[in-house]
Amino acid sequence: MIVNASINLSKVEKSKIIDGKKGKYLPLTIFINDEVDQFGNNASIIVSQTKEERDAKTPRVYLGNGKSNTVASNKEESVIDGLDF
């Protein structure tokens, strides 16, 4: 599955950015919803929360949304117009 998404960088708190050996990282959580919204999006993206933040019911920082696309693997059989590929 591929998810195409956009996030609002102005909502990212600098304290959430992690300095790593190969760059700076932002932990994200992506939810894939069963239903699409009015714009065809079915994915929501938030800044990941620590256990302490979840336990304290800290509001989530919503960064954006996206659309998931299912991609057929090489093991799956695709049928187009009755022709097997």
Per residue in 26-46, pLDDT (tens digit) is: 999 999 999 999 999 999 999
Q: Where are the domains of the chain?
A: 2-71
pLDDT reported for residue 75: 47
Find the radius of gyration of the CA atoms of the chain.
Answer: 18
Instruction: Judge whether 58 and 7 are in contact, CB under 8 Å.
Output: no
Which residue has 């989530």 as its token pair? 60
The pLDDT of residue 67 is 93
pLDDT recorded at residue 80: 54
Q: What's the pLDDT at 68? A: 87
Q: What's the predicted TM-score (pTM) here? A: 0.73
Weakly modelled stretches of the chain, pLDDT under 70: 71-85
Give CA–CA dist 18/16, Å, rounded: 6
**Is 27 in contact with 18 (CB distance < 8 Å)?**
yes
**Lookup: tokens for 6:** 């956009």
